[in-house]
Structures are given as structure tokens and as C-alpha cells.
Structure 1
Amino acid sequence: MSDEDLSARVTLLEETIAHQSRTIEDLSGEIAGQWKIIDQLQFRLERLTEQFRALEDATLEAPAVTKPPHY
């Protein structure tokens, strides 16, 4: 293997590593953004669940037992 071939292979490997590093950084940024969105959605879901339970508790109360006026 000549020095030129070896140099070309090393250059190709360096370029490949640089592209892969950039891709990994991009993907890492995307994942971080998605986790931020997931955290926001979980917070909203918890709030909505609490509101739903409060409404459910308010509507599930049994009406008072009273005699109709004609008795």
C-alpha cells in the first residue's frame, strides 16, 4: 500500500467521522427538544387529570334525599 493510498484512506476516515459526529450532535439536539416537549405534555396531562377528577367528584355527589312536596 502506497503512502498516497494510506493518506487517502485516512482522509476518508476523518471525513466519515466528522459527518458522523455532526449527525450525532444533530440527533442529540432533536432528542433534547423532544424530551422538553414530552415534559410539557406530561405536566399538561397531570393538570387536566386533576381538573377532570375535580369535576368528576363535584358531579358524582349524591343528591340530598328529600320528600317531594306532595307528601
Structure 2
Amino acid sequence: MSDIESRVEALEVRVAYQDQVIEDLNQTVIAQWKLIDSLRRQFNELLDRVQEVEDNAGGTSTPEPPPPHY
């Protein structure tokens, strides 16, 4: 095998490994985006619940005064 052939073969091996690494990273990014999307939906649901509780709590919209020891 000539020097050029061995160099080409080495490059082909590197490209094959790089393709696999890129695919693995892509799958990781996809999984993370799915998790982020799920967490974002949960956060928005909790935010809606908190807003609903605040709306149903009645009372005034002004903050409570600090306790006397302040």
C-alpha cells in the first residue's frame, strides 16, 4: 500500500468516526430539546396555577406591610 493510499484510508476512518460522533451529539441535542420543551410546558402550567390562585385569593393587590420587628 502506498503512502497516499494509507493516508486516504486514515482519513476515511477519521470521517467515519466523526460521522458517528456528530450523530451521537445530534441525538443528545434532540433529547435535551425535548426535555427543555417539557419543562417549559410544566413551568407555564405552574405559572398559570399560581396566577389563578392569586386571582382567587381576593384581598388587595398591595403588598403586606412588614412585620413589627422590622
Structure 1 residue ranges without an equivalent (≥5): 64-71
Residue 15 of structure 2 is aligned with which of 9, 17, 21?
17
Corresponding residue for residue 67 of structure 2: none
Distance 2:13 2:21 in 1: 12
Corresponding residue for residue 37 of structure 1: 35
Query: TM-score by structure 2 length?
Result: 0.80
Corresponding residue for residue 24 of structure 2: 26
Corresponding residue for residue 53 of structure 1: 51
Residue 8 of structure 1 is aligned with which of 6, 10, 13?
6
Structure number with greater Rg is 1
Structure 2 residue ranges without an equivalent (≥5): 61-70
1:62 aligns with 2:51: no
Query: TM-score by structure 1 length?
Result: 0.79
Percent identity, aligned pairs only? 33
Moved >3 Å (runs of 4+)? none
